[in-house]
Amino acid sequence: MGTTLTIPLITAAPSAAEPPRPALRTSGLSGLHAKAAYLSVGRTTWGRGADAARPIASITKLMTALVVVRAGHLDRTIAIRRKYRAYGLHNDASMAGLHVGDRLTARQLLYAMLLPSGSDAAYALVESHSGTWQRFVATMNATARSLGMDDTRFDNFDGLPWPSRTADSSTPRDLVVLARRALADPTVRRVVATRTYHLPKTGNHAAYTWTNTNRLLGAYRGARGIKTGYTDTAGYCLLFSARRGRRTAYGVVLGEPTSATRFTDATRMLDWAFGRRTAAIPLLPSRDQD
């Protein structure tokens, strides 16, 4: 699908007090590296391949978090089992480094899942919630339908390429719907905006430090999160949001060729949304692929 721009229709002639809006210039977005992208700010949207379903990698974990948070009881403790670590190691997944035998709360595991994108933490949350990952994934898909995400399909709980390489697919437009709903929840909003989370050692668990893989945080003024993702099939992905003044922008890039380009493309989109000239942002080298 080609690049599209949607601007609210003016149904009445503008008055002298309300001059016509100038046409928005989108030439600055024509050189994005993403295979698909979408941006929403106010009533204005811009998209490329906005309604084409693509694999979304670990952006899936945002829906996992939303299902867990909606169920409540976030201060219940969850025992870390060997199979949670084994699952992540077997699939070469991003890990939170959880220790077998530790007991952490569901709230703490949300940080472990969403900041370093830990698949071990995701598995622990899913099994605690539903008993089996299959039942949990069914709830994820039911939640997607309830939100109007009709072009989204979840096959697993963390975005890894199983049972097929194209598992967990969605459209850029659907993902922005998910971003809006997730950030409306204060718990999710707080977690995804956290740059680093320190958990001191207690009698229940070891000490942990988890760092957010979203490098817009602290580098782009007003950035609010939300979630990174990467697999060979999906490419580098980023679902993001920022607020400046009274304006809030939501956006997503999918199928980026490198980790760095997803952040630079997101910066260009946000600058366009806020009517500002794009400036380079300092991005430290990262070993994280998610």
Residue-wise pLDDT for 191-205, tens only, equals: 999 999 999 999 999
Integer Cα distance of 171 and 149 in angstroms = 9
Integer Cα distance of 3 and 263 in angstroms = 20
The C-alpha R_g of the chain, in whole angstroms, comes to 19
Q: How far is CA 228 from the centre of its chain?
A: 5
Could you list the active site residues? Answer: 58, 61, 117
Q: Which two tokens stand for residue 226?
A: 């939300």
Integer Cα distance of 106 and 74 in angstroms = 5
Instruction: Report the alpha-carbon angle 268-117-258, nearest 5.
Output: 40
Nearest in space to 126 (alpha carbons), one of 191, 58, 64, 62: 64
Q: For residue 9, tell me if it sits in a domain.
A: no
Query: How many structural domains does the chain have?
Result: 1
Q: What is the pLDDT of residue 289?
A: 65
Q: For residue 204, tell me if it sits in a domain.
A: yes
Q: What is the pLDDT of residues 54-107, one digit of tens each?
A: 999 999 999 999 999 999 999 999 999 999 999 999 999 999 999 999 999 999
CATH code (residue 171): 3.40.710.10
CB 230 within 8 A of CB 238: no
Q: What is the pLDDT of residue 275?
A: 86
pTM (predicted TM-score): 0.87
Q: For residue 2, tell me if it sits in a domain.
A: no
Q: Which residue has the tokens 């009517």?
A: 275
CB 98 within 8 A of CB 121: yes
Work out the pLDDT band at 212, boundaries 50, 70, 90. Answer: very high
Q: For residue 173, tell me if it sits in a domain.
A: yes
Collapsing DSSP states into helix, strand and coil, what is residue 46? strand
Q: What is the pLDDT of residue 30?
A: 73
CB 283 within 8 A of CB 261: no
Q: What is the pLDDT of residues 129-187, one digit of tens each?
A: 988 999 999 999 999 999 999 999 999 999 999 999 889 999 999 999 999 999 999 99
- Residues 262, 36, 140, 222, Cα dihedral to 10°: 40
Q: What is the pLDDT of residues 13-54, one digit of tens each?
A: 333 444 433 334 455 677 899 999 999 998 889 999 999 999
Q: For residue 59, tell me if it sits in a domain.
A: yes
Integer Cα distance of 105 and 4 in angstroms = 44
Q: Which two tokens stand for residue 230?
A: 């990467």
Q: What is the pLDDT of residue 281?
A: 45
- pLDDT higher than 80, residue 217: yes
Q: For residue 18, tell me if it sits in a domain.
A: no
Q: For residue 3, tell me if it sits in a domain.
A: no
Q: Which residues of 30-43 are buried (b: 16+ CB within 10 A; e: fewer)?
A: eebbbbbbbbbbee
Other C-beta atoms lying within 10 Å of the C-beta of residue 148: 11
Residues contacting 248, CB < 8 A, separation 6+: 41, 241, 242
- Return the bridge partners of 229, or none: 237
Q: For residue 4, tell me if it sits in a domain.
A: no
What domain range is 217 assigned to? 26-273
